[in-house]
Amino acid sequence: MAAVMVEHIDKFLIWLEVEKRYSPETLRGYGIDLNQFCQFLEAQDIECLNHPDQINRGVIRSFLGHLSGELVQQPRSVARKLAALKSLFKYLHREGIVSLNIASYVHTPKLPGVIPSYLSETQIVAVLDKLGESDSWMGKRDLAIVELFYSTGMRISELAGLSPNDLNPNKGTVTVLGKGSKQRVIPVGQYAWEAIEAYTSASKQKYGFRENNQPLFLGKNGTPLGPTGIRLRVRRAIKAIAEMKKMSPHVLRHTFATHLLNAGADLMALKDLLGHANLSTTQVYTHVQVDKMKKAFQMAHPRAGKK
């Protein structure tokens, strides 16, 4: 593969890491999406790899068509890759490498409304009860992980980056480092605290004293448990009690948000808890409120048409 465009992408990813403080997971996703674009250029128009300024709307649209057609990728995946290209070309334009941010003129494909996958209250209790059956060190760790996800709604990158220093048992809060290196303080429920205390006690017995600035969650060899390991443990926990297409930690984040709204939480408060920059991102959860309103209407309105 020609080096010019690849070198620009490498510099762009470094810029995202250093200046924007993007998480390793986000950087990995950007890298995969942009590398796929380079592979497409190599097969279709190799000159563009050496001369990024020759890339026009037609080239980008052809790439999106390739994704949707030959690769049969879903609109959401196509939109994500286009967003990565728009960020890249914005950077290239600012650096003077291209004369125009051509990607900004390509419209994002219309996305279907998708209701996030989440567990019912009965299901999440079953997951936690099942995890609580284990008395092993790893069992206590996995219970603490799921309890913390469900209690706070934090992202997987935020949980993986926690250290004991981030926990404040006196105030009942945890401080996380979110997107763009923005800190936020989240309240933690009693059950999650109890699970964390049980895990940290078992961890000290197994590995001895550790500095408070060291990673909170450890793997079986005492090394930090990263996002991949956390994702695997959550998947196994959910799979043990529920058949779902999606079983990632994000399902627990959706579950946290859905259950809070079900209980009457304010949407603006939920936005702050989740660390969303815009309310429009949080509004994906309003399906809960709509469903509740429909049920209330059907039950109470004298002309709702109920039999």
Active site residues: 155, 179, 250, 253, 276, 285
Q: 3-state secondary structure string, the chain?
A: CCHHHHHHHHHHHHHHHHCCCCCHHHHHHHHHHHHHHHHHHHHHCCHHHHCHHHCCHHHHHHHHHHHHCCCCCCHHHHHHHHHHHHHHHHHHHHCCCCCCCHHHHCCCCCCCCCCCCCCCHHHHHHHHHHHHCCCCHHHHHHHHHHHHHHHHCCCHHHHHCCCHHHEECCCCEEEEECHHHCEEEEECCHHHHHHHHHHHHHHHHHHCCCCCCCCCCECCCCCECCHHHHHHHHHHHHHCCCCCCCCCHHHHHHHHHHHHHHCCCCHHHHHHHHCCCCHHHHHHHHHHHHHHHHHHHHHHCCCCCCC
Angle at alpha carbon of residue 240, lines to 284 and 24, rounded to 5°: 55
Q: Around 196, how many Cα atoms within 13 Å sit in the side-chain half-sphere? A: 24
The pair of three-digit structure tokens given for residue 46, joined into one six-digit string: 């190799």
Residues facing 153 on adjacent strands:
none
